[in-house]
Amino acid sequence: MRDKQIEDLKDYKYGFSTDIESFKAPKGLNEDVIKFISNIKKEPRWLLDWRLKAFERLKVLKEPDWQKPKYPKIDYQDLYYYSAPKSFKDKPKSLDELDPKLLETYQKLGIPLNEQKRLNGIAVDAVFDSVSVATTFKETLTKQGIIFCSISEAVQKHPELVKKYLGTVIPLTDHFFATLNSAVFTDGSFVYIPPGVRCPMELSTYFRINASDTGQFERTLIIADKGSYVSYLEGCTAPMRDENQLHAANVELIALDDAEIKYSTVQNWYPGDKDGKGGIYNFVTKRGLCKGKNSKISWTQVETGSAITWKYPSCILKGDNSIGEFYSIAITNNHQKADTGTKMIHLGKNTKSKIISKGISAGFSDMTYRGLVDISPKATNSNNFTQCDSLLMGNKCGAHTVPYIKNKNSDSNIAHEATTSKISEEQLHYCQQRGLNPEEAVGLIVNGFCKEVLQQLPMEFAVEAQKLVGISLEGSVG
């Protein structure tokens, strides 16, 4: 009986695919495809030039190979770089015109887009393959001057803002996947919070890869102007497919004086089956710039999905007194691999950063925390605190900690702590004696282990994330 329940839970419940006709760019990576994407989005010349410049640069860049998880060679010419529901060729003006199949898909994913069923207090931008299909609560936000739309729309309606900030945190030339994204990015979210405004609701983007052989290259740009505040959430799922799919997103955050951005991710891309077949390659570049004084950027991530996760949400603490935070839970099971962590670059005076990382590996999986704390000579009176804890379940998996610590300032302090352990037999026995089955007991203990990070998530997400933490480890208790 219990086995049956576990079996049910183990299934990736977002694994369905939607049978919807899509409109795609021809396969392959070349100038024509880039022009095709730019053209279909009716982009201004400067943006096309920018893309082409990235493409030129891409030709001389090599894929990085220093990360721990290795992956088979990707044939970049055998991928679709643009895929949109066919009904989207003429963009629907309102939700009523949206393909019912799409609405149904999001309903199934627990993200209702319909007016009456919307999630309370969360505005959602839904991205399906390469395009944004709907954004909710737009009017409410507009009243306060908040811009929340797809990046394609922002290019049309707010070109000055996009032009001013795009690529300022992740430069065109950054590294292979970031540059690839700059050349072919399709859609993503754009957020601008005007000075002094506290965004009244959580902003959220829900990413869905549906089409096969399709890479998803979304681009998100969030600007918090002086004295503003925004909390942004991101969720991801994909259908179960035998082949690996590439997801190479770029996310840029900019916080001006006294502004604060809280960015939360619950990443649950399809992880592949229990033998490691299929799953998403999640190669993401996320970087935040604390540009102004007293600004703050806080990353929180719960990474449970993807065959390979490879991301380092970072903070460049440029403004004096700025603060960077990184809270992470990463769970790998079966044959999943993750190499994730953060970079905290202290440039301004009195800058503070905090890193709390909880890694859990089970099955045959492999997990690496990789992080950099760099305090530059000018960043006087700065400090960092890092805590990295790993939990191993079984001896077929690996847990690694690779922190790089650079202190070039004598008035600054860096403290780093790391531990590796397992769930003790005694703790399990204690929980079982109180009536919990082993799966529940592990879920409870692991959630306790992750608590410091879960607390950082907005309410609505925290509950989901807690369940996800439990489910991700199902079947890992021997």
Minimal distance in Å, beta carbon 428 to another protein? 9
For position 434 contacting another protein by CB under 8 A, the verdict is yes
**Can you tell me which of 263, 283, 449, 461 binds another protein, judged by CB under 8 A?**
449
Q: Between 93 and 112, how does the x/- string for binding to another protein read (CB under 8 A)? A: --------------------
Q: What six digits make up the tokens of 426? A: 């005694």
**Can you tell me which of 427, 460, 464, 477 binds another protein, judged by CB under 8 A?**
427
Minimal distance in Å, beta carbon 426 to another protein? 6
64: CB partners within 8 A, 6+ apart: 175, 176, 177
Closest CA to 150 of 184, 188, 114: 188
Q: Between 353 and 382, how does the x/- string for binding to another protein read (CB under 8 A)? A: ------------------------x--x--
114: CB partners within 8 A, 6+ apart: 95, 103, 107
Minimal distance in Å, beta carbon 380 to another protein? 8
Minimal distance in Å, beta carbon 9 to another protein? 16
Minimal distance in Å, beta carbon 378 to another protein? 10
For position 437 contacting another protein by CB under 8 A, the verdict is yes
Minimal distance in Å, beta carbon 122 to another protein? 23
Core vs surface per residue 15-50: b (16+ CB within 10 A) or e: eebbebebbbbeeebeeebbebbbebbebeeebbeb
Minimal distance in Å, beta carbon 400 to another protein? 5
Nearer to another protein, 239 or 443 (CB): 443
**Size (the chain), residues:** 478
Three-class SS of 422-460: CCCHHHHHHHHHCCCCHHHHHHHHHHHHCHHHHCCCCHH
Q: Between 42 and 81, how does the x/- string for binding to another protein read (CB under 8 A)? A: ------------------------x---------------
For position 425 contacting another protein by CB under 8 A, the verdict is yes
Q: Within 10 Å of residue 243's Cβ, how many Cβ atoms?
A: 9
| CA–CA dist 36, 296 (Å, integer) | 38
Minimal distance in Å, beta carbon 416 to another protein? 4
Radius of gyration of the chain (CA): 22
Three-class SS of 138-161: HHHHHHCCCEEEEHHHHHHHCHHH
Spatial contact of 341 and 309, defined as CB atoms under 8 Å apart = no
**Can you tell me which of 107, 156, 212, 447 binds another protein, judged by CB under 8 A?**
447
Of 19-27, 42-50, 330-338, 439-447, the window that binds another protein (rule: CB under 8 A) is: 439-447
Please, what's the largest Cα pairwise distance for the chain? 68
Closest CA to 104 of 266, 330, 95, 172: 95
Closest CA to 111 of 293, 233, 5: 233
The C-alpha torsion from 407 through 409 and 412 to 417, rounded to 10°, is 10
Query: What is the CA angle 283-152-317, rounded to 5?
Result: 55
Of 55-63, 97-105, 252-260, 419-427, the window that binds another protein (rule: CB under 8 A) is: 419-427
Minimal distance in Å, beta carbon 353 to another protein? 14
Minimal distance in Å, beta carbon 454 to another protein? 9
The C-alpha torsion from 301 through 303 and 304 to 306, rounded to 10°, is 140
Q: Between 215 and 234, how does the x/- string for binding to another protein read (CB under 8 A)? A: --------------------
292: CB partners within 8 A, 6+ apart: 226, 255, 256, 257, 258, 259, 319, 322
Of 4-12, 101-109, 240-248, 415-423, the window that binds another protein (rule: CB under 8 A) is: 415-423
| CA–CA dist 261, 256 (Å, integer) | 10
For position 420 contacting another protein by CB under 8 A, the verdict is yes
For position 451 contacting another protein by CB under 8 A, the verdict is yes
Minimal distance in Å, beta carbon 407 to another protein? 4
**Can you tell me which of 146, 236, 431, 468 binds another protein, judged by CB under 8 A?**
431
Nearer to another protein, 353 or 383 (CB): 383
Nearer to another protein, 92 or 438 (CB): 438
For position 173 contacting another protein by CB under 8 A, the verdict is no
Nearer to another protein, 4 or 93 (CB): 4
| CA–CA dist 310, 136 (Å, integer) | 30
The footprint of another protein on residues 382-411 (CB under 8 A) is 383, 390, 392-411
Number of residues that bind another protein (CB under 8 A): 60
Minimal distance in Å, beta carbon 338 to another protein? 14
For position 9 contacting another protein by CB under 8 A, the verdict is no
402: CB partners within 8 A, 6+ apart: 341, 368, 369, 370, 371
Spatial contact of 103 and 124, defined as CB atoms under 8 Å apart = no
Interface ranges with another protein (CB under 8 A)? 66, 377, 380, 383, 390, 392-422, 424-427, 429-438, 440-441, 444-445, 447-452
